[in-house]
Structure 1
């Protein structure tokens, strides 16, 4: 692999490179120092290998990078040096490509993968995965299908590393204060809204919000709805499914006391910091990342709600993956890295610390959150009680999604019916898409 010349790099994290001779040279050596030259050669450590990984939008934190990639590689592949290039000014994908210094690996989400493919950095890894013995049958088929959906002929452009799943998190103290029963697994959005209505009130100068539905995109994710048609480059919002979603938000926002002086978006801050939101749909990793605040609360979680006809389906597949770029030079060593970090041992460790595994193993799912003190006594299997759907991702989703989210303001303001809102989003998105094609 070429050195990363010609660009200003973001912060780089390095794995210790070379195994100490004292630690490696005695393995399998002949007794009393005797033996042939062949045996001495076999006892030598592997040649040092340098690999580089791009951390797209810094999708993996330094903490998880250290715990789930760096330390396992130090133990299993001490001859490998892995340098991690963070997404930063001077080290964006475009800048690295322009400087002809993109990395061996791409680390990012399936949602962000089209950005990578638009620059034609992907390569089919099927042959080297097979030759190096990386067993894809160990992975949850839904996560593999999400990656294969980017190919036209079943190409495998990457390997899943970690998953994220939706849950409904709730503040027990607010329920207890107003003597309202806690939510339960398997609820519909209508049931959650009705429950939240009983909690939305002002008491002691505090505006309590029973249920904030969050982002429109996250609710739509529970139906795996497409945003745009990649062939016609048109928005796909003007239909009954999207009308149902916007209608759900309208019902939630119209609860007396929900909209306060124009404020309708309470979100994570309302739940974790202000502690005036009783129920919030959240990502499992969002829950883990807010452990410090949760330690001060009485809380729990249940499975992610959905519309009645879609119960049991969670949010669309949201995974982090590693993809070998087509400028990488050491494909075999790269796949050996993938074998280590997707091993049962590492995936179990991730699960124990609250990162959902991408493997099929029920045993690994059962230990989810077991090493997090804040998760003790909680409904820790809630994320796995729904199955993720497979989204149809296009490079136009971000454009359409901007107008989808902006519609919440119109809904909160009141006075506009759902059909009008849907048509407005469709028209605005189509106009912007048409401008992009000129």
Structure 2
């Protein structure tokens, strides 16, 4: 039976048709009874927050939640907790709010602790149409029965960053928007050289698994729960990865170099395909410490077959646990952090908004960061993120794909054998998880 996916627009339509439309705001009319802070109560409440999947530093938590929530809802305290979620569930102490990237949501669904947010969207009159369409479509794919499992609060878009100083040093023309992986590889070859006892490398690809995101290749068949790694698409990815990294200079003493950190710290990599939020955040820190360098960005390379699509949609999302005793307050926090006021503030400070990428939002992106003036930030918005069918086995699949890439590069294994090994490992893992 073909699965039907509900888009953000459909959910919004369902919300709107559940009541009359407010003629002034265009939002659902709750009969004048839309809850306010006073209705819900202003007594002190502590909401426990946990990072279930994804990176989120204490500094980011302070910036995104503690500072923002305190301004809007001084009676609500958001407290970050850590530990193993399964143990907290067993102890009956499930955090009120969970944060997870898209790949981590299937595992949370398996635990059956996620609250459907549709009733709260209706209750509070939340306008889902203001959010990035790709982000919301990605989240809606997890709702087999139309449920809304999360609200996104930040987005990550990739680009190809480059060190102008290295290009200038070797007299090579800068990269351009719209390049394919093969064109980038040809450019990378020219940059990979040893000069003055310094080994320069052409590029950091971000890993074979990320290179594949533009093709939205599945790791697992969702209908059969069988690995899907022995395909032409995966061959194309691994062969391209091998071509880039097999140029002399990348492999030394049986290990592969060319990681993202070498682009920013040692500054010996000419090109780096990476997530924008990470790079802009790290460059901001370098600027503040007086370690700036001459850089810019262009659009992320794409495969010819997948031209026009970047890495898959990447959002950090907020979920409410079904056992929370403060669901209304938790949703107030979610909708505020994901709302216009906070999102526009973060967008101006270089953190990508989850709101639709309107011309205004594009123009305002990073406007408060002086080091972004004159940079090609439009590269973030020129390529559409891809949509991926996430499964609870994808993370293992990504690991096995990267192992296959390393087998080719470090052990001389051919692409067919490498993918067959990865396929067998993933199927074995799936079987072990299924029989538990």
TM-score range (shorter-chain normalised) is 0.7 to 0.9
Shift of 1:346: 0.8
Matched, 1:127 2:119: yes
1:198 aligns with 190
Matches of 2:412 and 2:329 in 1, distance apart?
60
Contact 2:103 2:394 in 1 (8 A): no
SS at match of 1:301: strand
Take 1:104 and 1:77, find their aligned partners in 2: how far apart are those partners? Answer: 16
Q: 2:330 and 2:427 mapped to 1: Cα distance?
A: 42
User: Secondary structure, in 3 states, of the residue corresponding to 1:267?
Assistant: coil
* Aligned counterparts of 1:402 and 1:334: Cα–Cα separation in 2: 34
Q: 1:229 is matched with which residue?
A: 221
Note if 1:386 corresponds to 2:383: yes
1:52 to 31, 41, 48: 48
Q: Structure 2 unaligned runs (5+)? A: 1-37
TM-score (norm 1): 0.85
8 Å Cα contact 1:59-1:107 kept in structure 2: no
Other-structure match for 1:374: 371
2:305 alignment partner, SS class: helix
Find the counterpart in structure 1 of residue 294 from structure 2. 298
Deviations 1:383-425 (A, max 9, x none): 1111111111111112222221111222213643322322222
SS of residue paired to 2:224: coil
Q: Give the Cα separation in 2 of the matches to 1:430 and 1:258.
A: 31
Specify the SS of the correspondent of 1:310: coil
Per-residue deviation, 1:288: 2.4
Counterparts in 2 of 1:275 and 1:361: CA distance versus 1, 3 Å = closer
- Of 98, 111, 134 in structure 2, the residue corresponding to residue 106 of structure 1 is 98
2:179 maps to 1:187 = yes
RMSD: 2.0
Rounded to whole Å, the distance in 2 between the matches of 1:432 and 1:81 is: 41
Counterpart-to-counterpart distance in 2, 1:204 and 1:321: 47
Partner Cα distance (1:398, 1:296) in 2? 35
1:145-199 residue CA offsets vs partner (Å, 9 max, x unmatched): 2111111121101101000111111111110000001111111000100001111
Q: Does 2:63 correspond to 1:71?
A: no
Residue equivalent to 2:418: 421
**5+ residue gaps in structure 1?**
1-41
Aligned to 2:16: none
Residues 297, 375 of structure 2: 8 Å contact kept: yes
Residues in 1 aligned to 2:80 and 2:250: alpha-carbon distance in whole angstroms: 44
How many residue pairs get aligned? The number is 392
Q: 1:234-273 maps to which residues of 2 (within 5 A)?
A: 234-273=226-265
Q: Secondary structure of 2:347's partner?
A: helix
